[in-house]
Amino acid sequence: MRAPVASDLAPGLALSPGATLGRDVVLGANVVIHDGVTIGDGCEIADGAVLGRAPRFGPRSRWSGVADTDLLTIEAGVTIAPGAIVMAGARIRAGAIVGNHAAVREGAVIGPESVLGHCVSIGPETRLGARVRVFNNTVLGPLTLVEDEVDVAVNVSTTTRSWGADDAPDRPVVLRRGCRVGTAAVLMGGVEVGAGAVVGACSLVDADVPAGAVVAGTPARAIRRSERG
């Protein structure tokens, strides 16, 4: 892998010779673009963004990292806001927005026209569909699957684990099309929130939510029955 080197394309830009820039790409100051990054036409990469950095892991990490062939692809019309970090092996689809100081880990996919807010964290191999909105300070843990047109409010978190199950296998959270998750909700490993369902603010979700249902509380329970079942 070739290290980024100083470039005169923008103030303070560090650009690897192995990166590929499309047409009409706007680069802010102090951006770092690592080897193997591909940036599509018409993207805007704002000040201080870091693109394509390989992950670093501690001795207890459950993730193995990315191979040299796992490269970062940023499709046309994407906006990467100031201070965002997008790791090697991720893919940002056309027209998406990655917000200020957001982090997108290796293997993650951000769907077309989706929006990540300020300080959002997207875990390894998490996948977002089209037109998803993830609001500020939310953490979507590893392997989370989010279908199209889902809204996830501020300070939400998903995990692959359940309480008291430290040695259990990873079980991803699934958010089906058009569901909404309220502020500060916590979704435990293996939970599926059905299409069009609503999870109330500050809920702890430890069981599946049927399509169209509304749940709230700790633990979350139905406050309106699904219209589909």
**Are both 129 and 164 inside the same structural domain?**
no
**Using an 8 Å Cβ cutoff, are 2 and 20 in contact?**
no
**127 and 18 assigned to the same domain:** yes
**CATH code (residue 88):** 2.160.10.10
72 and 108 housed in the same domain: yes
Structural domain of 60: 1-134
Judgement on whether residues 70 and 177 belong to the same structural domain of the protein: no
Q: What is the pTM of this model?
A: 0.91
- State whether 55 and 115 are in the same domain: yes
164 and 223 part of one domain: yes
79-126, pLDDT tens digit by residue? 999 999 999 999 999 999 999 999 999 999 999 999 999 999 999 999
Residues 149 and 211 in one domain: yes
Residues 125, 150: one domain? Answer: no
pLDDT digits (tens, 9 = 90+) for 60-74: 666 665 554 478 999
- Domain edge (last residue) among 80, 105, 134: 134
| Same domain assignment for residues 113 and 224 | no
The answer on 208 and 99 residing in a single domain is: no
Given the structure tokens 């770092």, which residue do they identify? 32
Tell me, what's the pLDDT at 3?
A: 73
Q: How many domains does the chain have?
A: 2
In this structure, of 16-25, 51-60, 110-119, 165-174, the range with the lowest mean pLDDT score is 165-174
Domain's final residue, options 134, 169, 200: 134
Whether the ω angle into residue 169 lies within 30 degrees of 0, i.e. cis, is no
Lowest-confidence segment of 103-112, 133-142, 154-163 by average pLDDT: 154-163
Listed residues 72, 101, 134: the one ending a domain: 134
Q: Are residues 112 and 190 in the same domain?
A: no
Could you tell me if 85 and 108 are in contact, meaning their C-beta atoms sit under 8 angstroms apart? no
- 8 Å CB contact between 161 and 173: no
- CA proximity to 76, closest of 144, 31, 151, 22: 22
